Structure 1
Amino acid sequence: MIEHGTLIAAVLVGLLGGVHCAGMCGGIVTALSLGTVRAPGVDAGPSPGVSWPLLLSYNLGRLLSYTAAGAIAGSAGWFATRMMDVNQAQLVLQVVAGLFMVALGLYLAGWWQALARLERAGGVVWRRLEPLGRRFLPVRRPGQALAVGLVWGWLPCGLVYSVLIWSVASGGPLQGAALMAAFGLGTLPNLLLMGVMAASLGRFLGRRPVRVSAGVLVAGFGLFMVVQAVFTVGL
């Protein structure tokens, strides 16, 4: 089973990654919270205020997609460990995951944009999935919001990709699913608040000191993962 400390760390990464979530998902979350997500040319009428059923349903769908992706990534890592010594494979995967976390921290801080290229590569798959999400517009019911969340969970995102690499090193499909679920829960506070107070929260998360602080903390965690793996090999 995956350690509780690892799950807590995944929650914290999701929370700190809110500076990125605001840009990637802030628009649709704000629209959902106001019940204004619609197809082009469709008038949603006057805004009824915060629509919690739509907002919560969307986020549930997003978390389910994250969990499924984590199970797939964990399975890939499990098969990789069968190809070589289990301990050695897990250490290698942990180093790779740690390096991705460092890259994520630098990305969040705005110091290195390598993960942006990974997001663009993921856009190839997203171009095939995004039209599927449009079939559920306009969003008027929780079921539609859930479906949109299920699709939006696969949006190309360097933050999600980095945690998926971490899931590969988690040890198996259940561990990978748990890790991504914990990460998804960590993203919830920012996105729920974004739905309620989009303008002020967006400005706060967009401030450079906030982004740099979050990036440094995430990069520091990645370095810890790498050092921990190297120290284990040294023993």
Structure 2
Amino acid sequence: MDISIILIALSIGLTSSLHCVGMCGPIALSLGLDAKDKFKFTLRNMTYQLGRITTYSILGALLGIVGESFTFAGLQNYLSIFIGVLMIIMVMIPKFYENGATQLRPINALMVKVKITLGKYIMKKNSSSLYIIGLLNGLLPCAMVYASLTAAIGLGSVYKAIMFMFFFGLGTLPLMFATVLFGNFLSVKQRQTILKILPLITLILGVLFILRGLQLDIPYISPSKTSLQLNSLDDHCM
């Protein structure tokens, strides 16, 4: 897997976690973890965080299957260009990925069930429920998760999609961990500033996927068809 993809996933996760602190902060704060016992606090906090990252990775695997089917059909470059264009559309029409998906009746019904179940586990406030809370938290609507999952499809590989979403989740870990420890430390004004940055990240990612699909033989940015085939072969050998 290209190191550039890992770095992009980590960067997106770290940057978008500034937004996550505001959106998912209330859930993190409601866990009621006691920081006096540092070892126990770290273990319980990481259990919750691992749940979120697990969900991102599973979603990456599911969408990676879709992307890999295009690769087998020899359409990976077209898929990459399509995904890039789709991400740019996301920026031009923010509602397309911020809350558009949740307006669909099946997804909206699922989200209601997720939130109800999440509330039940939060009320339990015990160690065994923390991982499940994290799993459910990872399913909640989030613009940057949508954008990252879209990117995962464009990678055209189940393995790459899983790793991309895993490192995306890993990128969100530092600030989300700190939120449980210190509380919601971002003001409304700071969150609004961050929201202005996130579409730019999506736009840049979209352009990168279009360049990748064009196969211009630019190292790391737009590898040639031969390089993509070799990388794909390496993935299948793992």
What is the TM-score with the length of structure 1 in the denominator?
0.76
Which residue of the partner structure matches residue 136 of structure 2? 151
- RMSD (CA atoms): 2.8
Separation in 1, partners of 2:77, 2:202: 20
Report what 1:173 is aligned to.
158
* Residues 8-55 of structure 1: CA deviation (Å, up to 9, x unaligned): 1011111121243123311101222x33xxxxxxxxxxxx45744332
State the match for 1:45 in structure 2: none
Q: Structure 2: how far apart are the matches of 1:201 and 1:136? A: 26
Count of residue pairs brought into register by the alignment: 212
Question: Which string of whole-angstrom CA distances, capped at 9 and with x for unpartnered residues, describes residues 202-221 of structure 1?
Answer: 4464142x332343244223
1:171: Cα distance to partner? 2.7
Residues 7-18 of structure 1 aligned to structure 2 (within 5 Å): 7-18=6-17
Give the Cα separation in 1 of the matches to 2:43 and 2:120: 19
> Using the alignment, how far apart are the partners of 2:15 and 2:102 within structure 1?
19
Partner secondary structure for residue 185 of structure 2: helix
Tell me, in whole angstroms, the C-alpha distance in 2 between the residues paired with 1:155 and 1:17: 15
Q: Is this contact kept in 2: 1:70–1:173, CA < 8 A?
A: yes
- What's the counterpart of residue 64 of structure 2? 74
SS at match of 2:140: coil
Post-superposition offset of 1:138: 2.2
Structure 1 position 65, deviation (Å): 1.0
Give the unaligned 5+ runs of structure 2. Answer: 225-238
Contact kept, 8 Å, 1:29 with 1:55, in 2: the verdict is: no
Identity percentage over the alignment? 21
Q: Which residue, 62, 84, 95 being the options, matches 1:98? A: 84
Task: Name 2:50's counterpart in structure 1.
Answer: 60
Q: By how many angstroms is 1:183 displaced?
A: 0.6
| 1:189 corresponds to 2:188 | no
Q: Which amino acid aligns with 2:77?
A: L
Which amino acid counterpart does residue 70 of structure 1 have in structure 2? G
C-alpha contact 1:100 1:162 (8 A) present in aligned 2: no
The amino acid that maps onto 1:24 is: M
Aligned twin of 1:226:
210
Distance 2:89 2:185 in 1: 28
Q: Is the 8 A contact 2:79 2:154 kept in 1?
A: yes
- Structure 1: unaligned runs, 5 residues or longer: 36-47
Q: Distance in 1 between matches of 2:186 and 2:131?
A: 24
Pair 1:120–1:57, CA change in 2 (3 A): farther
Q: More deviation in 71-80 or 123-132?
A: 123-132
Contact 1:99 1:222 in 2 (8 A): yes
Matches of 1:204 and 1:189 in 2, distance apart?
21
Alpha-carbon contact 2:30-2:122 (below 8 Å) kept: no
Aligned position for 2:96: 114
Where does residue 136 of structure 1 map in the other structure?
121
Deviation at 1:128, TM superposition (A): 3.1
How does the TM-score come out when normalised to structure 2?
0.76
Letter in 2 for 1:130: K
String of CA shifts for 1:166-195, please: whole Å, max 9, x gaps. Answer: 111223222211111011011112212222
Task: Give the letter aligned to residue 144 of structure 1.
Answer: S
